Amino acid sequence: MSERRSVKPIYSMCVQPSFIIGTNNEDGSPNFAPITWVSATCEGDGGYLLVISMFGSKRTKTNVLRSGIFSANLVSTDMLPLMDYLGTRHAADGSKKDISYEVTRGEVLDVPVLNASRWVYECEVAKFVETGESTTFFCHIRNIQIDERLNPKDTFDVDLKVLDPVIYSGRYYSLGAGLGKIGDVKMSK
C-alpha cells in the first residue's frame, strides 16, 4: 500500500459523470448548461431521486427554480466538444449558436432534450436545499430515454461501454475497462 499524506481540504476530487442540463427559458427557447454535480439517492419504495447541485446564478438554475422541470442529458465522449463549448459560454454573453446540435422535446415533460445523448432523464423537482451560493435539487425522475442499443436486465446491467460517458474531476476523462459485477471480484490470498 502506498503512503498517504494530509492536505488542505481544498481538493474536491468529486469524480462525476457529466450531464448537460436542458431547461426552458421564459420565452420557451431551450437553454443548456453542463453540470457535473449529479448523483442519485434512494427515495424509498424502490424509487430514486436524481440529485443535482448548481452553484452561482446561472440561467439554468433560475429556469429550474422557476419551472421545476429539466432534462439531464448524459454526455458521451463524442459530445465533449458541445459540453466544453456550452461550459465556456454564458447566457449573459449572448446566444450559444456557434455550434450545431439537434434538440427535441421530452416524451413526458416539456423539456428540451439533446438528440445526441444516449441517456436522458426527464426530471421534476421534489424539493431543494440552498447552501451558500449552491442549490441542491432532489428530483423525481419522470422518464428515462435510453439508447436503443441498451437492453438492461436490471439497474446494475447498464453497459457503460455503449454510453461511453465523460467523467469529470477538474479535467475530462473517459472510462477504462470493466472490472466485473458485484460478487465477481474475489480478494487475493
Reading the block at residue 154, the C-alpha cell is: 436490471
| Residue 10 forms part of a structural domain | no
**β-bridge partners, 173:** 167
pLDDT of residue 18: 94
At 1-44, the pLDDT tens digits run: 789 888 887 766 677 899 999 999 999 999 999 999 999 998 87
pLDDT of residue 160: 86
At 154-177, the pLDDT tens digits run: 777 788 888 999 998 888 889 887
User: Which helix (H) or strand (E) covers residue 72, if one does?
Assistant: strand 69-74
Torsion of CA 82, 96, 64, 104, to 10 degrees: -70
Q: What is the DSSP letter of 170?
A: S
| Residue 88 forms part of a structural domain | yes
Looking at residue 4, its amino acid is R
Overall size of the chain counted in residues: 189
| Residue 133 forms part of a structural domain | yes
| Residue 185 forms part of a structural domain | no
Range of the domain at 47: 16-173
pTM equals 0.89
| Residue 91 forms part of a structural domain | yes
Q: What is the DSSP letter of 91?
A: G
Domain count, the chain: 1
| Residue 180 forms part of a structural domain | no
